[in-house]
Amino acid sequence: MAISYQVGDKDTRPWGTWEVIAVGETYIVKKIVVHPKGVLSLQSHRFRSEHWIIASGTAEITLEERIWSAPANTHIFIDIAQKHRIANRTDVPMTFIEVQTGQTLDESDIIRYEDIYGRTV
């Protein structure tokens, strides 16, 4: 199991911010805030699954070919290798909690297919 995060790690991205709030032997928990109109890349992972809980605001969820609106208190499960994206199409910040579980838990496990900010890695 490869884990490269520590509690308190954080980063700013073009779409918002993330912060690691818990780390265990087999999981990582992040608090993620998506700016109004922010869109994360369409991506998948080879080694991890993700569980999302929308904490505040409304998210637009893409999971494979399905796209839907998810209000606060919605739970989404993303299995290994599933293409997924989360976006905030509203005018207020949206916050969700992400629980990652799997063999490799670091940023190197992101495979990007589309990114409105031009990122490829």
What's the pLDDT score for residue 12?
A: 96
**Torsion of Cα atoms, 107 then 110 then 113 then 119, to 10°:** 10
What's the pLDDT score for residue 2?
A: 61
Spell out the domains of the chain, with CATH numbers in brackets: 2-104 (2.60.120.10)
**Torsion of Cα atoms, 121 then 107 then 110 then 102, to 10°:** 170
What's the pLDDT score for residue 1?
A: 57
Q: State the Cα–Cα distance between residues 98 and 50, nearest whole angstrom.
A: 6
What's the pLDDT score for residue 120?
A: 72
What's the pLDDT score for residue 121?
A: 56
Q: State the Cα–Cα distance between residues 59 and 70, nearest whole angstrom.
A: 5
Q: What are phi and psi of 9, to 5 degrees?
A: -60, 140
What's the pLDDT score for residue 32?
A: 98
Per-residue pLDDT of the chain (121 residues; tens, 9 = 90+): 567 889 999 999 999 999 999 999 889 999 999 999 999 999 999 999 999 999 999 999 999 999 999 999 999 999 999 999 999 999 999 999 999 999 888 888 889 999 999 887 5
How is residue 41 annotated by DSSP? P
Give the β-pairing of 110-114 and 42-45: antiparallel
